[in-house]
């Protein structure tokens, strides 16, 4: 909110588990909807997770017309903001979606990461979180199916 001011927070989990929190810095219009989760794991489990997260996205196997159509739709309408490592999508304005399905929550913790909630977010982002950088996207039912099918491949 204040140019040049950097806010830092420290989170310490003394035992494995999932801890939830709420953003404590005033950072804009959607501030009240900026939740977060901290997943605390053993060092070994964290290292496994981190190594997987560093990988590029796998190419969807078995493609099929629906996945191909969804990937094209993503590249045409989403890749300007979102990156998927291993593809031509290199946007820097929205979250990197390379391992989208490894996340428990989406929309800064507002929704569970389910296919239904993800599509609800994509289509109704401004109703769910007014002022967020994610636009609400008008999609036909065919486009919703194709995009959802493609996004479901991002493990």
Q: Judge whether 26 lies within some domain.
A: no
Q: CATH code at 112?
A: 2.60.40.420
C-alpha span between 108 and 95 (Å, rounded): 10
Residue 73 lies in a domain: yes
Flag whether pLDDT at 1 surpasses 60. no
pLDDT tens, position by position, 51-68: 999 999 988 877 689 999
Nearest-angstrom CA–CA distance, 37 and 18: 7
User: Domain tally for the chain?
Assistant: 1
**Is the residue at 131 inside a domain?**
yes
Report yes or no on 48 lying in a domain. Answer: no
Q: Is residue 19 part of a domain?
A: no
Domain span at residue 109 reads 64-151
Residue 28 lies in a domain: no
The structure's pTM equals 0.84
Hey, which bits of 1-155 come out as E strands?
17-22, 35-40, 105-106, 111-112
Does residue 101 lie in a domain region? yes
Q: Tens digits of per-residue pLDDT, 78-99?
A: 999 999 999 999 999 999 999 9
């Amino acid at each position: 909110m204040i140019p040049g001011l950097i806010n830092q927070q420290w989170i310490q989990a003394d035992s494995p588990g999932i801890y939830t929190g709420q953003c404590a810095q005033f950072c804009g219009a959607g501030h009240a909807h900026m939740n977060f989760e901290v997943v605390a794991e053993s060092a070994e489990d964290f290292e496994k997770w981190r190594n997987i997260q560093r990988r590029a996205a796998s190419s969807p196997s078995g493609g099929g017309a629906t996945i191909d159509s969804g990937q094209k739709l993503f590249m045409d309408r989403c890749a300007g903001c979102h990156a998927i490592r291993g593809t031509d999508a290199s946007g820097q304005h929205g979250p990197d979606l390379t391992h989208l399905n490894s996340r428990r929550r989406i929309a800064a913790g507002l929704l569970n990461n389910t296919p239904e909630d993800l599509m609800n977010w994509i289509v109704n982002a401004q109703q769910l979180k007014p002022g967020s950088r994610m636009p609400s996207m008008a999609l036909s039912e065919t486009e919703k199916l194709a995009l959802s099918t493609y996004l479901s491949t991002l493990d």
